[in-house]
């Protein structure tokens, strides 16, 4: 699978590589093979469809996030790491797994971790997932130290979506693609919590279909839960029961998806919101601003203007 982001690797001073890595991914210690002063590597970034990626190529012996690193840089992300070239031994939360091309690994930046490469060239794509948003979406189901094998059917679906996102390099008007990825990611986490990584239950498959249908249609203000049931081929009662068994209602999930999509679009405005909030609300499927502001405040605790004005000051 070609992510179109592999850089030409050139010798770098180890300190230069560490600075680039730390600027993008947070504080890490890099142990280079034979303690040589140079390393073959590159660290680049991209944003597409509202998702932030880092592309890390290197031939280090080991990269560690130690207790000392955590003290100087508390983590606020999960990393979904895709092994694209080479191999890596990943250790976190008592789990130790070896990644080969196509495997993925969820790492928690708030916990210590060790990534071992044995001095061999490795290329990894790291999707940076904000902690607060991920915990809101997936509750305790998301945790560091989780491997997603390349043969897992939902893992294949995730890689296909990420590949499409990166090749399009789309930064606007693609919120539904991001939501499709989150839907599949959530289905994997749900199946894992049920002990069904490769054999999802009928209701898990139904929820996956439902979230995919929502991702494709949430921008339509006329799209209702009844339309969702029709698209997934079940009765409205069956759909409601499947969602209820996993702690939410389909209408709530649909509105949450609309709010999250609106937040993604608001983020791209970098604080310049004048005249855009209403356009974004309507584009994300809200048919009146009162409902949008109520749902937004329920999710984020403040209005779009308050939230993004504060972000602009912090930046």
Structure confidence by residue, pLDDT tens digits, 262-288: 887 887 665 555 567 888 899 999 999
Q: Is the overall model pTM greater than 0.75, yes or no?
A: no
The pLDDT value recorded for residue 31 is: 87
Q: What angle do CA 90, 66, 146 make, to 5 degrees?
A: 30
Give the pLDDT confidence of 133-173 residue by residue, as tens digits. Answer: 999 889 889 999 999 998 888 898 899 888 888 876 544 45
Report how far apart, in Å, the C-alpha atoms of 244 and of each of 97, 195, 238, 240 are: 34, 19, 10, 6
The pLDDT value recorded for residue 289 is: 92
Calpha distance 101→107 (Å, rounded): 17
Instruction: Please name each of the domains of the chain with its CATH number.
Output: 10-150 (2.60.120.10), 201-310 (1.10.10.60)
Angle between helices 153-168 and 175-193 (to 10 degrees): 160
Helix runs in 14-152, H state only = 14-25, 67-72, 131-138
Residues of the chain with pLDDT under 70: 1-11, 33-38, 168-175, 196-201, 268-275, 309-315
């Amino acid at each position: 699978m070609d992510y179109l982001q592999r850089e030409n690797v050139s010798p770098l001073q180890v300190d230069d590589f560490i600075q680039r890595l730390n600027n993008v991914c947070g504080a890490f210690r890099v142990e280079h093979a034979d303690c040589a002063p140079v390393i073959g590597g590159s660290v680049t970034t991209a944003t597409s469809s509202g998702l932030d990626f880092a592309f890390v190529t290197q031939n280090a012996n080991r990269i560690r996030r130690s207790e000392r690193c955590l003290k100087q840089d508390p983590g606020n992300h999960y990393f979904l790491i895709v092994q694209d070239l080479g191999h890596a031994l990943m250790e976190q939360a008592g789990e130790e797994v070896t990644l080969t091309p196509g495997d993925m690994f969820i790492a928690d930046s708030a916990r210590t971790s060790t990534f071992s490469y044995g001095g061999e060239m490795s290329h990894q794509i790291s999707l940076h997932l904000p902690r607060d948003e991920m915990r809101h979406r997936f509750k305790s189901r998301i945790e560091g130290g989780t491997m997603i094998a390349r043969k897992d059917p939902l893992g294949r679906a995730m890689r296909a979506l990420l590949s499409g996102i990166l090749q399009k390099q789309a930064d606007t008007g693609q919120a539904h693609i991001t939501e499709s990825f989150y839907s599949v990611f959530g289905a994997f986490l749900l199946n894992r919590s049920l002990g069904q990584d490769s054999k999802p239950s009928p209701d898990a498959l139904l929820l996956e279909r439902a979230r995919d249908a929502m991702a494709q249609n949430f921008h339509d203000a006329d799209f209702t839960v009844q339309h969702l049931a029709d698209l997934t081929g079940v009765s409205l009662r069956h759909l409601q029961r499947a969602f209820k068994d996993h702690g939410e209602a389909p209408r709530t999930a649909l509105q949450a998806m609309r709010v999250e999509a609106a937040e993604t679009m608001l983020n791209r405005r970098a604080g310049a919101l004048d005249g855009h909030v209403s356009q974004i609300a309507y584009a994300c499927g809200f048919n009146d601003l009162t409902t949008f502001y109520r749902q937004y405040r329920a999710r984020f605790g403040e209005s779009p203007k308050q939230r993004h004005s504060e972000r602009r000051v912090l930046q």
